[in-house]
């Protein structure tokens, strides 16, 4: 039997007395003693969300006693910043993964399965998309906590499409080609970027997938780019570019199609609803003419690209438990976050992945997006998001190939050959 000194006895008794006298006093856990959690996050395309996020962090800080500092940076800069911090083993406690899958950074990120399981139990489990994005296949564990995904619907000028007999806008890519050709002739072209930015990588993949094509098979290893379906998709994409668009899209960035729609010239864009929200705040007359539809279907199916967001806790963090506690509180607040994003942040948790949705279900224009989750997939489709699939995405292989083909710098077979060689070389590095 362990002997207890008189001093130990008195200290224990005093602690028990204090606890009984003040039963509702919150005793800070050990992680709260570390005092700080630093977060690397993107600059959200809906500014109101970042205001909410900063206020949420401040409120959580006041309750926990842990100072939360959020560094917002443009999304395209985040992968390089994460890589630099991993190289120096210093920096943020929490890093946001923006489009790049968890598996790429897994060796530097904490296994957060315990927190993920707690959240799943509270909120009905995770969607397959969340699991694909955040679970690492080598150990079967989540190394990131899913936050939300960004969908890509169609945003169209209802007044213009009504003039050509399509008041509900295009439901298929072929509808977009036919209607877009007519509207371009009237001075209102379609706008899909064909350059080095996220929207290009998302939209042109959606067209390929909807034609039944893909870069890789379901096993995540077999290259399938050299196929009849991809050829048909490429031919359609070239026709859409030439007949319904203008060469300006070859120099666009992620904000260009937003500006294009806001200018009054654009008849249709493939973009998250942030473009519509911006116009709502600056030009109500134009916003009243803009409606939202599902991403178009193709001859094979309806598929669109989901740009995912999740948070990883770095292994070099000095406050890993505090970081996990903060993220758990953030995910618990999904409904408030979705409202702050004005419907931009789409759910990864099953309890929220069905109507009624915050904001979306309350707005007749956005109500079609209630169905959106079932059509959205991410890099590597129809297989898993592997590091190889991610690198093909990051290197803009498909976008560069299409740009060459659409502008007649390569013919169809040259395009297939060039792309296939690039894809195979990347996958060979990870074999």
Q: Is residue 115 part of a domain?
A: yes
**Whether residues 298 and 316 fall in one domain:** no
Q: Is residue 22 part of a domain?
A: no
Q: Is 295 exposed, middle or buried (0-12, 13-18, 19+ CB in 10 A)?
A: buried
Rounded CA separation 207/230 (Å): 10
Q: Is residue 14 part of a domain?
A: no
Q: Output the average pLDDT for the chain.
A: 93
**Whether residues 211 and 301 fall in one domain:** yes
Domain count, the chain: 2
Q: Is residue 8 part of a domain?
A: no
Bridge-partner residues for 186, per DSSP?
Answer: none
Domain that holds residue 276: 154-305+395-429
**Whether residues 292 and 313 fall in one domain:** no
78-91 pLDDT, tens digit per residue, is 999 999 999 999 99
**Whether residues 180 and 139 fall in one domain:** no
Query: Which pLDDT value is given to residue 134?
Result: 98
Rounded CA separation 260/330 (Å): 34
Query: Which pLDDT value is given to residue 35?
Result: 86
Whether 16 shows a pLDDT value over 90: the answer reads no
Q: Binning pLDDT at 50, 70 and 90, where does residue 356 land? A: very high
SS (H, E, C) the chain: CCCCCHHHHHHHHHHHHHHHHCCCCCCCCHHHHHCEEEEEEECCCCHHHHHHHHHHHHHHHHHHCCEEEEEEECHHHHHHHHHHHHHHCCCCCEEEEECCCHHHHHHHECCCHHHHHHHHHHHCCECHHHHHHHEECCCCEECCEEEEEECCCEEEEHHHHHHCCCCCCCCEHHHHHHHHHHHHHCCCCEECCCCCCHHHHHHHHHHHHHCCCCCECCCCCCECCCCHHHHHHHHHHHHHHHHHCCHHHHHCCCCHHHHHHHCCCCCEEECCCHHHHHHHHHCHHHHCCEEEECCCECCCCCCEECEEEEEEEECCCCCHHHHHHHHHHHHHCHHHHHHHCCCCCECCEHHHCCCCCCCHHHCCCCHHHHHHHHHEECCCCCCCCCHHHHHHHHCCHHHHHHHHHHCCCCCHHHHHHHHHHHHHHHHHHCC
Whether 135 shows a pLDDT value over 90: the answer reads yes
**Whether residues 163 and 260 fall in one domain:** yes
Query: Which pLDDT value is given to residue 13?
Result: 43
Q: Is residue 382 part of a domain?
A: no
For residue 343, give the CATH number of its domain: 3.40.190.10
Query: Which pLDDT value is given to residue 3?
Result: 43
Q: What percent of the chain has pLDDT over 90?
A: 89
**Whether residues 174 and 296 fall in one domain:** yes
Query: Which pLDDT value is given to residue 32?
Result: 56
- Asked if residues 211 and 303 have their Cβ atoms less than 8 Å apart, the reply is no
Whether 26 shows a pLDDT value over 80: the answer reads no
Q: Is residue 130 part of a domain?
A: yes
**Whether residues 203 and 293 fall in one domain:** yes
Query: Which pLDDT value is given to residue 81?
Result: 98
244-270 pLDDT, tens digit per residue, is 999 999 999 999 999 999 999 999 999
**Whether residues 406 and 292 fall in one domain:** yes
Instruction: Compute CA 172 distance to the chain's CA centroid, rounded to the nearest angstrom.
Output: 23
Whether 163 shows a pLDDT value over 50: the answer reads yes
Q: Is residue 6 part of a domain?
A: no
What value does the mean pLDDT take over residues 372-390? 94
Q: Is residue 316 part of a domain?
A: yes
Query: Which pLDDT value is given to residue 99?
Result: 86
What value does the mean pLDDT take over residues 169-184? 99
**Whether residues 168 and 265 fall in one domain:** yes
**Whether residues 165 and 269 fall in one domain:** yes
**Whether residues 90 and 119 fall in one domain:** yes
259-303 pLDDT, tens digit per residue, is 999 999 999 999 999 999 999 999 999 999 999 999 999 999 999
Bridge-partner residues for 349, per DSSP?
Answer: 126
**Whether residues 191 and 210 fall in one domain:** yes
What value does the mean pLDDT take over residues 324-346? 98
Min mean pLDDT across 19-33, 56-70, 314-328, 359-373 is at: 19-33
Query: Which pLDDT value is given to residue 33?
Result: 59
Torsion of CA 278, 284, 289, 291, to 10 degrees: 40
């Amino acid at each position: 039997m362990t002997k207890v000194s008189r001093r130990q006895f008195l200290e224990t008794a005093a602690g028990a007395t204090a606890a009984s006298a003040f039963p509702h006093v919150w005793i800070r856990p050990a992680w709260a003693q570390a005092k700080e959690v630093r977060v690397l996050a993107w600059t959200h395309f809906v500014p109101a969300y970042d205001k909410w996020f900063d206020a949420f962090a401040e409120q959580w800080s006041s309750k926990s006693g842990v100072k939360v500092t959020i560094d917002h940076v443009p999304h395209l800069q985040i992968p390089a910043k994460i890589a630099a911090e991993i190289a120096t083993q210093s920096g943020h406690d929490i890093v946001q993964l923006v489009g790049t899958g968890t598996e790429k950074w897994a060796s530097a990120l904490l296994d957060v399965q315990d927190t993920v399981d707690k959240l799943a139990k509270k909120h009905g489990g995770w969607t397959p998309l969340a699991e694909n994005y955040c679970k690492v296949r080598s150990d079967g564990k989540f190394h990131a906590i899913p936050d939300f995904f960004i969908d890509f619907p169609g945003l169209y000028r209802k007044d213009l499409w009504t003039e050509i007999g399509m008041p509900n806008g295009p439901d298929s890519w072929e509808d977009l080609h036919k209607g877009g050709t007519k509207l371009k002739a009237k001075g209102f072209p379609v706008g899909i970027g064909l350059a080095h930015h996220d929207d290009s990588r998302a939209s042109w993949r959606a067209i390929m997938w909807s034609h039944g094509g893909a870069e890789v098979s379901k096993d995540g290893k077999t290259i399938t780019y050299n196929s009849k379906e991809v050829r048909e998709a490429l031919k359609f994409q070239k026709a859409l570019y030439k007949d319904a668009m203008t060469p300006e899209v070859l120099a666009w960035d992620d904000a260009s199609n937003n500006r294009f729609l806001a200018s009054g010239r654009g008849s249709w864009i493939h973009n998250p609803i942030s473009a519509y929200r911006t116009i709502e705040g600056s030009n109500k007359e134009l916003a009243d003419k803009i409606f939202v539809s599902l991403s178009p279907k193709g001859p094979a199916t309806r598929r669109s690209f989901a740009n995912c967001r999740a948070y990883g806790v770095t292994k070099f963090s000095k406050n890993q438990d505090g970081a996990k506690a903060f993220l758990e509180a953030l995910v618990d607040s999904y409904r408030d976050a979705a409202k702050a994003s004005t419907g931009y942040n789409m759910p990864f948790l099953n309890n929220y992945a069905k109507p009624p949705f915050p904001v979306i279900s309350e707005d007749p224009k956005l109500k079609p997006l209630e169905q959106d989750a079932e059509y959205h997939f991410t890099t590597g489709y129809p297989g898993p998001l592997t590091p190889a699939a991610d690198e093909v995405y990051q290197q803009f292989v498909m976008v560069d190939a299409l740009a060459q083909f659409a502008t007649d710098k390569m013919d169809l077979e040259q395009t297939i050959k060039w792309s296939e060689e690039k894809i195979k070389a990347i996958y060979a590095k990870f074999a």
